[in-house]
Amino acid sequence: MPDKILLLPDNIANQIAAGEVIQRPASAVKELLENAVDAGATEIKLIIQDAGKSLIQVIDNGSGMSETDARMCFERHATSKIRNIEDLFHIRTMGFRGEALASIAAVAQVELKSKKAEDVTGIYIEVENSVVRKQEPVAAPTGTSIAMKNLFFNVPARRNFLKSNAAELRHIIDEFTRVALSFPGIFFSLTSNGQQLFHFEAGSLKQRIVQLLGNNYNAKLVTVREETDYMNIYGFVGKPEASKKTRGDQYFFVNNRFIKSPYLNHAVMNAYQEMIPPDSFPLYVLFIDLDPAVVDVNVHPTKQEIKFEDEKIIYAFVQAAVKHALAQFSITPTLDFDLDASIQQLASVQQPFTEEKKSAAASGSIYKGFTQKHQAHFIEKSDLRPWKDIYGTGSGTSPVESGEGTPGNLHPSPATHYLPPADTELTQLLNSYITVPSAYGFLLIHQQSAHERVVYEQLKAASKDKPVAAQRSMFPATLEMIPADAAVMEEIMDDLKLLGYLIEPFGKNTFVIQATPADVEPGNEKHIIDVLLEQYKHFSSEVKFSRREKLVRSLARQQSIKTGVRLTEREMRQLVTDLFACEQPNATPDGNPTFLEFKREQLERMFGK
């Protein structure tokens, strides 16, 4: 029998290796920008066409390459950074494996021009499918220009997996942003389809952050700087009021390399404890410098995941540094109880809580009712019953006793007899909850969660059947965005139109809101779109939702009645009616309960009856 194991041809081996390093246009952008930084460039220009699918070009004024180096750089594992195994543990440059250019040359048509300062002429090389097609001298400025055209031209299956141009452009902007933040002392520009999106002059880190995030962040940054023999940390964190409801502008760099680290992110979040709401996320751009020997950057092809020799020391240091920075700027949590003066005079507030009183309280039924399982505050999510049982059918038999109300019956058909009678009085508590009497106690409805469910199902239905009715604005609002957000808006405009928001481009990174949904009160559309963009960009879920599903969920959250809003009797009744007409009225799209049921027997037990 013939032998079965054969060596792969170089071009196929390179394509397979490219699958790890070059996953999409943004991967190539990252590698080429980092090579330009390593070349000592002070000016780096990125030019792309069709979100990198047709062209990705990086032009730098760095050291350039000799003819031999220019030819060698496309070979697998050809690198100027490593001579022996010890060098691998002292890496301070961005690239070092010698895989990037070989991988790019395997899946794109590459043109390279490069010239060293001491050379009279430069070198021009064309590479296609890992094979050098052309090599000749050329007149060129000092530095390197590398252009990769028609990404995945020879791997059509990979090309078919690429997303829309708007989505791929977002990924490119993310990679560009990370490198530009890492090296604020270098000029960077990004031009897409002939339009310049970014133009960053060399400057300080703070200037670069403000250039990226907008001038309104200039007064919202707090300096972080701590130095020890083991490691240094420097950068900026946002003041608590700059925190957002989505995990957005958060950047960690180790030895100037962008990394993803949920562990270190937790350290920063701990430093903000009690300063921001638990569902908010602070801004931070933090740089950690330490001996490369105690960091392993070679654990992932993208080099964005690293390992520390001692994670606990880094964690404690990051948390302490951020806390110290916030404390120095007198940023401390404030509590506003807003207590009525008459409440302050009550004996229960003024008199001390003695041990005797403490024992008496602990032995009471109310205390037990709140500390033992299966009481009013402990509602099992699986204890869901058909609405017919909640409101009673006249039999007088408890659904628990009759064996009805099996868990999982979450899709009751809408029917009017599931609702409380028209003469039943509804009450609003704390401008946030609605009490609805039922046959066996009462329901406590969270008005915002309930309305979020209602709006979600309305938008979901509208996005499938016909567009939401929209009303044109007499005075259209204008949105000025940073380029990253403008790329997102281009991506979602068509879906937003189906949901009642007609938004049109109006020049560079500017859009006009021409129309909004007919049932949404005008005047707040800019805020709604701003928050919608934040939520859409950083949609946090393990489930891969479609673009429209993300928009529907975000808009439902935005358009729902907020807690603290006073409702009329008519508004309460309409909300309750709409909620019980939903397919799944018991929970928000995120799975939080829209109401809790308090049973008569639970209440009586709490009062010792």
Q: Note the pLDDT tens digit of each residue in 20-31.
A: 678 889 999 998
Comparing C-alpha atoms, which of 582, 578, 555, 538 is closest to residue 500? 555
| DSSP-derived secondary structure for 483-514 | HHHHHHHHHHHHHHHHTT-EEEE-STTEEEEE
Query: How many whole angstroms separate alpha carbon 390 and alpha carbon 436?
Result: 11
Query: How many whole angstroms separate alpha carbon 226 and alpha carbon 266?
Result: 19
**Residue 278 clears pLDDT 70, i.e. is over it:** yes
The band of 43, judged by pLDDT with boundaries at 50, 70 and 90, is very high
Give the type of residue at 13. Answer: A
Provide the angle, in degrees to the nearest 10, between the axes of the packed helices 311-328 and 262-271: 30
Residues in the chain: 609
Q: Which two tokens stand for residue 476?
A: 């259209």
Query: How many whole angstroms separate alpha carbon 30 and alpha carbon 35?
Result: 9
**Class of residue 254 by CB neighbours under 10 A (exposed 0-12, middle 13-18, buried 19+):** buried
The answer to whether 458 and 452 are in contact (CB under 8 A) is: no
Cα of first residue to Cα of last residue in the chain, in angstroms, is 88
The band of 337, judged by pLDDT with boundaries at 50, 70 and 90, is very low
The band of 59, judged by pLDDT with boundaries at 50, 70 and 90, is very high
Alpha carbon 553 to its chain centroid, in Å, reads 15
The answer to whether 525 and 471 are in contact (CB under 8 A) is: no
Q: To the nearest whole percent, how much of the chain has pLDDT over 70?
A: 75
The answer to whether 30 and 179 are in contact (CB under 8 A) is: yes
Residue that the structure tokens 């009013």 belong to: 376
SS3 content of the chain, % helix, strand, coil (to 5): 40, 20, 40
Q: Containing H/E element for 104?
A: helix 100-107
Query: How many whole angstroms separate alpha carbon 425 and alpha carbon 585?
Result: 21
Q: Is 5 left (phi over 0), alpha (psi -120 to 50) or beta?
A: beta
The answer to whether 189 and 198 are in contact (CB under 8 A) is: yes
The answer to whether 530 and 244 are in contact (CB under 8 A) is: no
Query: How many whole angstroms separate alpha carbon 195 and alpha carbon 47?
Result: 9
The answer to whether 180 and 76 are in contact (CB under 8 A) is: no
The number of CA neighbours under 13 Å toward the Cβ of 202 is 9
Query: How many whole angstroms separate alpha carbon 386 and alpha carbon 605?
Result: 24
Domains of the chain: 10-203 (3.30.565.10), 206-328 (3.30.230.10), 380-609 (3.30.1370.100)
**Residue 398 clears pLDDT 70, i.e. is over it:** no
Q: Please tell me the predicted confidence (pLDDT) of residue 11.
A: 66
pLDDT tens digit sequence for 161-197: 888 888 899 899 999 999 999 999 999 999 999 989 8
Mean pLDDT of the residues in the chain = 78
Q: Containing H/E element for 390?
A: helix 387-391
The answer to whether 24 and 171 are in contact (CB under 8 A) is: yes
Q: Containing H/E element for 235?
A: strand 231-238
Q: Please tell me the predicted confidence (pLDDT) of residue 605.
A: 86
Top-confidence range, 53-67, 263-277, 515-529: 53-67
Q: Please tell me the predicted confidence (pLDDT) of residue 485.
A: 82
What is the 8-class DSSP label of residue 559?
Answer: H
**Class of residue 551 by CB neighbours under 10 A (exposed 0-12, middle 13-18, buried 19+):** buried
Give the type of residue at 299. Answer: V
Query: How many whole angstroms separate alpha carbon 376 and alpha carbon 227?
Result: 52
Radius of gyration, CA atoms only, the chain: 30
Q: Which of 135-149, 249-263, 392-406 has the lowest mean pLDDT?
A: 392-406
Query: How many whole angstroms separate alpha carbon 506 and alpha carbon 489?
Result: 12
Question: pTM of the entire structure?
Answer: 0.66
207 against 339, higher pLDDT: 207
**Residue 396 clears pLDDT 70, i.e. is over it:** no
Query: How many whole angstroms separate alpha carbon 57 and alpha carbon 113?
Result: 11
- What dihedral angle (degrees, nearest 10) is formed by the CA atoms of 546, 547, 549, 555? 160
- What dihedral angle (degrees, nearest 10) is formed by the CA atoms of 318, 319, 322, 323? -150
Q: Which two tokens stand for residue 148?
A: 């990769």
Query: What residues contact residue 243 under an 8 Å CB cut-off, 6+ apart?
Result: 272, 276, 277, 280, 281, 282, 283
The answer to whether 17 and 137 are in contact (CB under 8 A) is: no
Mean pLDDT for 129-140 is 90
The band of 150, judged by pLDDT with boundaries at 50, 70 and 90, is very high
Q: Which of 36-50, 95-109, 209-223, 233-247 has the lowest mean pLDDT?
A: 95-109
The answer to whether 384 and 586 are in contact (CB under 8 A) is: yes
pLDDT tens digit sequence for 98-120: 567 888 888 889 999 999 999 99
The band of 285, judged by pLDDT with boundaries at 50, 70 and 90, is very high
Q: Given the DSSP bridges, would you call strands 502-505 and 510-517 parallel, antiparallel or unpaired?
A: antiparallel
Mean pLDDT for 599-609 is 85
Query: How many whole angstroms separate alpha carbon 565 and alpha carbon 442?
Result: 22
Alpha carbon 219 to its chain centroid, in Å, reads 23
